Amino acid sequence: MTLQPVSSWTSFGGTLSVHDHDSEACGCPMRFAVFTPPRAKDGPVPVLWYLSGLTCNWSNVMEKSGLQRMAAELGLMVVAPDTSPRGEDVADDDAYDLGQGAGFYIDATEMPWAPHFRMQQYITEELPALIGSAFPADMERQGIFGHSMGGHGALTLHFKQRARYRSVSAFSPIVAPSKVPWGRKAFQAYLGDECPAWGEHDACELVKRQPSDAHILIDQGEADQFLEEQLKPELFEAACREAGQSLTLRRHPGYDHSYYFIASFMEDHLRHHAKALKA
């Protein structure tokens, strides 16, 4: 796979770079960003995957979260993929919560989505192979985190690949997609009528089947406009308690769903991952 450089900036002694490549998994060009810390000049560094939420792409976290300062200090490489395949030949929907920008980090089985919407395969197989070959990345030390839809992706991919993602955290994640409008709409479209496959992409169901050895960190704003209808962190909290899963769920009065919230606690999450990945 050939990388096509798009942009590059020096930041806190490291490099933030944006790249395009032709994805076999998604059958279209894909774009991602990588922050490479200055410590990578001395050898491979741990890799932290950040999965964005609905309507977002690589730019949201790289431009709004302020992660570069602490990632540089801690020696973490941060990779920010896109949230879906994109392009004129890629299926889409007029709604913001389905289609382009709303891949949900699953592999679609239903038409017209199946040919391109293979985000689970892209995130867990194709892109890691590319990162491992093109960047000074220690692929034996990987963590994953994300926001909202990306928090859903981070939790579910961690539970399905515990050995790969040694650390995990999330900002205001969709923890029970099988039970909330965002998730049910996406699963119906991408996977078909409600079936056992839905549970393979639901963090509440996955933790009940087999808890992880990792300690999960979740931050949730109490002024989040999506809290009661779409996020329901109490369901995951109860599922973790039942399964014996180690979890810290922090609720923050006054904070909403925005990147003002994410930027406020980004340092805590980076330190959480650094501690686990350097152990």
Query: Which residues are the active-site residues?
Result: 148, 224, 257
Residue 93: DSSP 8-state: -
* Site of tokens 């992706």: 153
155, 147, 9, 77 alpha-carbon torsion, rounded to 10° = -20
From residue 252, alpha-carbon distances to 12, 35, 109, 216 in Å are 29, 28, 38, 17
How far apart CA 257 and CA 138 sit, in angstroms, is 32
How far apart CA 251 and CA 158 sit, in angstroms, is 22
Tokens of 250: 């922090």
E strands, 53-132, in order = 77-80
